[in-house]
Structure 1
Amino acid sequence: MHILIIEDELELRRQLVGRLAQDGWIAEGTGDGPEGLYLASEFSFDAAVIDLGLPGMPGLEIIRRLRAQQSQLPIIILTARDRWQDKVEGLEAGADDYLVKPFHSEELLARLRALVRRAAGTASRELRLGPLRLDLTAEKVWIEDRPVELTAYEYRLLEQLAGGQGKVLSKQALADRLYPHDEDRESNVIEVLVGRLRRKLDPDGSLGPIETLRGRGYRLTLTRDASEDGGG
């Protein structure tokens, strides 16, 4: 599971990221409201934990903007505000759950698991981009109904590129999301992973699924069909 933590209390954010990692989850965090909105909008997460009192942009505004974008990202509000009016406002903005500080990490994890289970059962967790199909819950990939075997890091890289919806993602941005806790990563790791992905997704070189933009990064060239977005 890939969880986004938008929380401006640095120590609490570190504790949550570490606790989720202990359970085998991938977690990354930010304490900045606009950056949190960017991450939630541009990358694929299974759920988000969002504080209300954030610098740059309040948590409620982040939630409202995500829902205005038709994002189905499961969201738990995490805040020190315990008035019932605040809870109602958060839920009406589009949050799925609400947890008041102080709290036990086990309760947060239990609520996250419940949210992710519900999302998997009620929302589409499949992404189709031309001949490419990703099952975001099972973490499986197909090209033209041909299963593609990927390592965990190859899959995570592909998911980030697919979640970018055709945007250019720099090597640094991709590395930060694949290895959020590894400051000693090799600079060419992303290049190696992209090369592997290309060979596995496009063994005969006919598809060209990943474009390299020199000095800028990488972009997935495959796009959704208009019919899948309600057009046509």
Structure 2
Amino acid sequence: MVNKIAGSIAEALAGIADGSTVLIGGFGTAGIPGELIDGLIEQGARDLTVVNNNAGNADYGLAALLKAGRVRKIVCSFPRQVDSWVFDELYRSGKIELELVPQGNLAERIRAAGAGIGGFFTATGYGTELAKGKETREIDGRMHVLEKPIHGDVALIKAERGDRWGNLTYRKAARNFGPVMAMAAKRTVASVYEVVELGELDPENVVTPGIFVTHVVKIPRTATQAGGFARKEA
């Protein structure tokens, strides 16, 4: 019997190796799998390459992973925000590597990995430092840059509901990068607020089919959580 429901976050994250590329869903704080990130900190993997839209907020979630010294490189679109002081300090001191990727390119590079596409040409970034060292080509009178797919060893994503086959639905903006990251990783762990019986999810509403999901972990919903990640107060 196929049952992808993990008994605990620790069980779902067991075996993530040092040096892994970890795709982490979320757009700002919406859809950040905070509980899974906390579990990754406890799991202990180091020298990670993390792919996310941002580079962490304040001292929790992704920022906590950076602060713990577990990340060697971050690939993102918006590394600097008013509360990105953890990343700022690490980057200015040379303790973390940054690959800056325009947001549309980031999403498409991840999607390309899941779709089996070896690369694609885009006009975004041509003529800037972001295109340095990359192949360029003129297409229909406009210059384009070749971008390569981003594959993950593991994806950590946040969904709303899931079943034991791993089928997932999302809540509004919390969906963001989750579906494409699930497709682009060798292993996907999804946190959900509700685990339902097979057949309870309307097939028309399933965004991520279970074939792309390795483990589903049920997490409790708090009053301040509505698809994003609530900061833990001391």
Q: TM-score range by the shorter chain?
A: 0.3 to 0.5
TM-score by length of 2: 0.32
**TM-score after normalising by structure 1:** 0.32
Which has the larger helix fraction?
A: 1
